Amino acid sequence: MKLAAWCIGILAFLWMPQLNASVTVLLEEPYGYDGAFGGVGHVAVYLNRVCAASSSSLRRCDEGEYGVVISRYDRIGGHDWIAIPLLPYLYAVTKPEDIPAYADDDIVASLRDHYRHQHLQEIAADDPLGRAPGGNWVQLVGSSYNRTTFTYQLETTVQQDDELIGWLNGRPNRPLYRVVTRNCADFVRDIVNFYYPKAVSRAIVADFGMTTPKRVARSISKYSRRHTDLEFVSRVIPQVPGTIRRSKPIHGMAESVFKAKKYMIPLAFFQPYVAGAFAAAYLVEGRFKTDRKATIFNLEAVESPLAGDERSAHPGGVNALSLSIEASAVKPVGK
């Protein structure tokens, strides 16, 4: 079993050149401080027939290209949104055979800096000493080393893609990020609603009027149930195995309080009515479960998804399957 074969299978599913164009919401689990305290994670959008002309402009894909991931970021390159090809976004490499089977901090830092040096100088240039700069640019490449991603895909049309390219390329790409009103989830909400008006909405109760990553996924899943004529598929892209800390479950705003004992127990003791309000907000409007047992791809037969009874051969689901890859299979960076 090789991680590269598994990743090619994931890419083949996401790309599907023989089928319709698609828009895919990438719901990414939180890690680091976000995982420890808030847990809202990140959300981006993947387009399988749209590619990056540059980090801040789009074009139609050429044959053999996998598409682009676009998302809103804070303080990166003076742009509102950044476009990154799918494979670098997930794994910080340009060829599937260069994906390491095991990752630690040094491997990931090297992969990210190599890709940045080759492709992202315009938004993350070397510092005066020729070294990698600080800042949030690391969020642009190698997402799958830090977190598990859940995908929610709806079919689109080539005409819709062309209209989106014109819309995004035709307006100023200047910083707009605001935590409450213009965050990453607001950007993805706008993109999905461009294809399917009113498909994604804010959660007035559960998220206190904000748009959260989990709300976007919940909305698109609900939309697919109302429009059964549209092809809808959900999958999971597991975090790459290694010594990097595993990502945490993703939460909405009320849910992050309701499910955290460190918040809920003191709140219930000192302010029981407030605690009850958080619980009610979550139960009424905030429930949505990401599926860690969602279909993943067989490492040996990339065209055959692994699901149902076949999972019994891999106790523990995604993590056990990932960890079955030996650390000795690490590929040297750049080879």
Q: Specify whether the CB–CB gap between 241 and 299 falls below 8 A.
A: no
Regions of the chain with pLDDT less than 50: 1, 16-18, 35, 273, 286, 297-335
Q: Which residues contact 197 (CB under 8 A, 6 or more apart)?
A: none
- Angstrom distances, CA of residue 60 to CA of 14, 17, 20, 65, 168: 16, 13, 14, 10, 13
Q: pTM of the entire structure?
A: 0.80
Nearest to 234 by CA among 243, 244, 245, 223: 223
* CB-based contacts of 194-199 (< 8 A; 24+ apart in sequence): 194/160, 194/163, 194/164, 194/167, 195/23, 195/154, 195/156, 195/160, 195/164, 196/154, 196/223, 196/227, 199/223
Task: Return the pLDDT at 210.
Answer: 80
Alpha-carbon distance of 94 to 98, in angstroms, equals 8
| Six token digits for residue 160 | 């819709």
What residues have CB less than 8 Å from 329, skipping those under 6 apart?
2, 3, 101, 102
Q: Please count the helices (runs of H) and the strands (runs of E) in the chain.
A: 12, 10
d(CA 107, CA 89): 16
Percent of the chain with pLDDT over 90: 50
Comparing CA positions, the residue from 10, 61, 287, 302 lying closest to residue 165 is 61
Q: Give the pLDDT score at 334.
A: 37
User: Strand, helix or coil at 132?
Assistant: coil
β-strand partners of 268: none
Q: Which of 267, 276, 268, 277 is nearest to 205 (CA)?
A: 277
Q: What is the pLDDT of residues 168-196, one digit of tens each?
A: 999 999 999 998 899 999 999 999 999 99
Residue 302: predicted pLDDT: 27
| Contact present, 117 and 197 (Cβ < 8 Å) | no
pLDDT at res. 250: 86
Give pLDDT tens digits for 111-149.
999 999 999 999 999 988 888 898 889 999 999 999 999
Taking Cα atoms as reference points, which of 333, 335, 325 lies closest to residue 101? 325
